[in-house]
Structure 1
Amino acid sequence: MSDRTTSTDVLVIGGGMAGLAGALAMRENGASVTLVERASEFGEVGAGLQMSPNAARVLKRWGLLDQALEIGVRPKHLVFRDALSGEELTRQTLGSEFEERYGAPYLVIHRSDLHRILLNACDKAGVTLINDVMIDRVETVDGRGRAYAHNGDVYQADVILGADGLKSTLRSAVSDDGPVPSAFVAYRGTVPITDAIPQDDLEDVIVYLGPNCHLVQYPLRKGELLNTVAVFKSPSFERGEEQYGGVDELEKAYKDCVPEVRNALKNLGTSMRWPMYDREPIDNWVAGRMVLIGDAAHPMLQYLAQGACQALEDAAVLQDLSKGTVFTDLGRTSEAWDEVLRTFNAARFPRTAQVQRTARIWGESWHVSGTGRVLRNMLFKSRGDGNYQYNDWLYGQSPALVFASADDVSNETVSAI
C-alpha cells in the first residue's frame, strides 16, 4: 500500500454528467464521497442537451430543476419534418398536459450549463473534487475497492462508481468489448439568434429527417442562442477516419434538402466533428466493489436524446437503493453494498438495454429513403398530437425504487422506472 492513501465511503471515477450525478446522489445519502477526474479542469464539450421528463424529475428531487430552467429553455413543441419536402410529419405539444402526465417539463440546456449546475451542487454538498488523477486499475481487497492512480496514489472506498464514459478503461473488468462505430457523424454549432432565423421555430425542438441524414435545431440560454446539430452517414468514418479535413461530405449529405436545412449548415462549427458510437448492451456492470454507471455501462446513440438522462436515472436509482441500508445514522454498513450493487444492476440493465436498442432502431427509421421514407412518413403522420403511446415507456413516472433484493425487481417494475 502507498503511504499516499485516501479512504472514503464512495469513490467516483470520472467528472462528467454521470460521475457528478452519482457523487451528488451518494452525498445526499450521507456518504463521504471523493470524485477524481483525469482532466486538469472540470468541464463539458459539446452544445445543446435535451432533458426529457424522466431526467427533469431527478433534477427536481435534488432541488436543481429551477436552476436548469432559469438558464435553459422550455420548448413548446417537439416537431418532426421531412428534410426533402419540408412537410411536417408529427408534433408533440410539451405544455401543461404533458408536464402533468410526466411530473416534470421537457427542457433544453447547454451541456456546459448543466454540468456546471451539477458540479456546483457537488461542491456545495461537500463532495471532495480532485483533478489530474488518472486511475490505472481497480481491485477489491478485503471487501473494499481500491483504485490505483498513475502517480502512485491509492484510493480506498466501500464502493467505486466507474463513470469514465464511452471509451471506459474500467469496463475491461466486466467485458472485453469495444465501442461500435455507427458510420454516422455529427457536426454541432451554437450561434446568436438573429432576425434572419425563422421566428416560428425558436420556441420548438425541430427535427428534419432525410436520407442518411437529419438535422436538429432548438434555442438555448433563454432564447439567446440557436443550437444546431447535423448528423449524416460519413464515408470517411466508415473507412475508419474519426476526423476529416473538409466539408464536402457534409454539404453532399444535405444537397437535396430544403433551403431551411441547407441554410442551417452555416451555423455549424466544422473544425471538429463527433463520430457516433455505442456499445452492445452487457448484463453485468459489477466487478467486486466497483459498478459502472452512465456511458461506461450503457453508451447509446443520440436518437432518443437519453445519454445524460439515463445517467441521471442511474444516480437516482442507486440513491434510492442505498438510502437507509448502506448509510445509517449509526454508521456505515459496508456489507450491504453487495446486495445494493446486485439489485441496482438487475434494475437498470433491462431499462438501459431497451433504450440502447431502441435508439438504434429509431436512427434507422430516421434515415430511410425511397419506399422506406414514404412508409415512415405515413406512420409519423398517422400519429396525432397528444398521443402518448410512444412516450410513456420512456418518460413515464416510476414507483418507489427501493427493493428488498434483486429478486423483487419484476419486469413490470423495471419497465416503469
Structure 2
Amino acid sequence: MRAIVMGAGIGGLAATVSLRRAGWEVLLVERTRRFTEVGAGIQLAPNATRVLRRMGLLDAVAALATRPAGLSFCTWSDGAEICRYALGAEAEEAFGAPYLQLHRADLHRALAAAVPSRSVRLDTTVVGIGQDDTSAHVTTASGERLEADLVVAADGVRSASRRWLFGADEAVFSGTAAYRALLPAGEVAGLGLPEYAVWLGPDRHLVHYRVRRGDLLNVVAVFRTRSGRESWTARAEPGEPVREFAGWDARVVTVLERAGQVFRYGIHTRAPLARWHLGRVTLLGDSAHAMVPFQAQGAAQAIVDAAVLGDALTDVTPDEVPGALEGYVRRRLATATRVQADSARAGEDFHLPDGPEARARDARMAAHAAAHRFAPQAAAWAAGPADGPTAP
C-alpha cells in the first residue's frame, strides 16, 4: 500500500510516521528545498504527547522541552493573578501523558528524524491531484505524475488541495495578529515573571513560557488589527510591540523592550468543512481545520489526526481506502470543529474591555479554577475516547 503525503510540516510528518507504522510505503513531498528552523514556541497537551509516546518519539521530544508546573492568568495592567491551574506532574498523572512546551523546530526535527530520507522529496511542488476508482495521483510542477493508493493533503492553512477538492475557499483573516520573540531566559530572570502565564487585556493578550529546557523565553503578544499578512518571517518595526502594549504591567513592557528580533504575523483560519475527504484523498491538520492558537491545540489536533488516520488505514486493502478515510473523518471532524470554535471564543474572552464584562469573566475563570485542578488546554481534549487513538 502506497501513500503520498503533501506538506512536511508537523501534520505531514506525523502522518508519514503514523502511516509507516501502519505498514504503508509513504512518499512525503515538500515544496521547500530544505528544512529550516521556522517558528518559535509550541505547546503539546496530553492528547498529543500520548501520540508521540506511541510513535516512540516522546523521550526525544521531552528531552528538549519544559514541563510547566502551572498556568497563571493575569490582569494586563498590574499582573494580578486571576486564577491558576495545575500542570506538571499532576496533569501527567491525571491524563497519562505530560504537558510539554518546546521550540517548534525541536518537534519538527524529532518527527523528521523518524522518516527515512529516501521517503522525502524536497523541492517538489504539487500542482494538481487526480484519482479514479483504483488509485490516486499528484502532478508536480515539473510534469511528473506520482501514483499511490492514497493522497494525504497536509499543505497548511493556504491549502491548494482543499480548493482542488471542494472548490474556492480562501483562508480567513481572524482580525488578530501576533508578535513572537525568543529571549534568553537570563535576560528576564530578575523580573519575577510567572513560569507560564497568559496576560489578558482590552483587545490584546500576551503569553509567555519557557522552551529549550528552560533556556529561552517564548513570547507571543496578540492584538486586534485590520490587517495582518500571514508570514513566519516578517519582522516587526523597531519599537512597534512596545508601542502596541504601552501602559501594560512594567514586566510585560520590559520583556518586549528586551526582545530584540520580533516577528509579526497575521493569524488566519479556515471555515469548518462538512467533510475532509473525497475518494482516496483527504485533508489533515491546518488544511482541514486551521484555527486561532488561543487554546494551544493547532499542532496537537494535527498530531491526533495523524494517529487516527494511521489507525483507520491499518490492515486495509486498496479497495477499502475510501471507506477507511470516511471512518477517519467521522472520528475526527466533530472534535476538531469544536476545538476551532472554542479557540475562537477564547480569543473573544481574552480581549474584553475593562469593565463589567471583564470582571464577570475574571470571576468566572476564578470559580472554574477553584472547581477544576487542570487548565482547559490540558484537560479539555486530553482523553478523547470517541475520536482519539487507542492508548498504548
TM-score, normalised relative to structure 1: 0.87
Choose 348-357 or 381-390, whichever is displaced more. 381-390
- Show the 5 A alignment for 1:15-414: 15-123=8-116, 128-172=119-163, 173-194=165-186, 196-198=188-190, 201=193, 204-237=195-228, 246=237, 250-268=241-259, 272-324=263-315, 326=316, 333-370=317-354, 371-384=356-369, 386-388=372-374, 390=376, 394-399=380-385, 413-414=386-387
In 2, the alpha carbon distance for the partners of 1:359 and 1:196 equals 29
Q: Kindly provide the amino acid, as one letter, of the partner of residue 144 in structure 2.
A: D
* CA positional deviation for 1:416: 10
* CA positional deviation for 1:244: 8.2
1:39 aligned counterpart, secondary structure? coil
In 1, the alpha carbon distance for the partners of 2:187 and 2:237 equals 29
Aligned residues: 385
* CA positional deviation for 1:79: 1.2
Residues 206-262 of structure 1: CA deviation (Å, up to 9, x unaligned) = 11111111111111111111111111112444xx79868735653343112110111
* Contact 1:49-1:108 at 8 Å conserved across structures: yes
* Counterparts in 2 of 1:270 and 1:348: CA distance versus 1, 3 Å: same
- Measured on the aligned residues, the alpha-carbon RMSD in Å equals 2.3
In 2, the alpha carbon distance for the partners of 1:127 and 1:340 equals 27
In 2, the alpha carbon distance for the partners of 1:252 and 1:115 equals 33
* CA positional deviation for 1:101: 1.4
Q: What is the match of residue 410 of structure 1?
A: none
TM-score, normalised relative to structure 2: 0.92
* CA positional deviation for 1:391: 5.9
* Contact 1:11-1:33 at 8 Å conserved across structures: yes
Q: Kindly provide the amino acid, as one letter, of the partner of residue 69 in structure 2.
A: K
Residues 242-290 of structure 1: CA deviation (Å, up to 9, x unaligned) = 8687356533431121101111112445563110011111011112211
* Counterparts in 2 of 1:198 and 1:207: CA distance versus 1, 3 Å: farther
* Contact 2:45-2:382 at 8 Å conserved across structures: no
* CA positional deviation for 1:393: 6.2
In 1, the alpha carbon distance for the partners of 2:230 and 2:218 equals 26
Q: Kindly provide the amino acid, as one letter, of the partner of residue 71 in structure 1.
A: L
* Counterparts in 2 of 1:64 and 1:378: CA distance versus 1, 3 Å: same
1:155 aligned counterpart, secondary structure? strand
* Contact 1:228-1:267 at 8 Å conserved across structures: no
Extract structure 1 runs of 4+ deviating beyond 6 A: 240-245
In 1, the alpha carbon distance for the partners of 2:235 and 2:40 equals 20
- List alignment gaps of at least 5 residues for structure 1: 1-7, 327-332, 400-412
Q: In percent, how many aligned pairs have the same letter?
A: 34
Residues 280-316 of structure 1: CA deviation (Å, up to 9, x unaligned) = 1101111221100000010000001111000000011
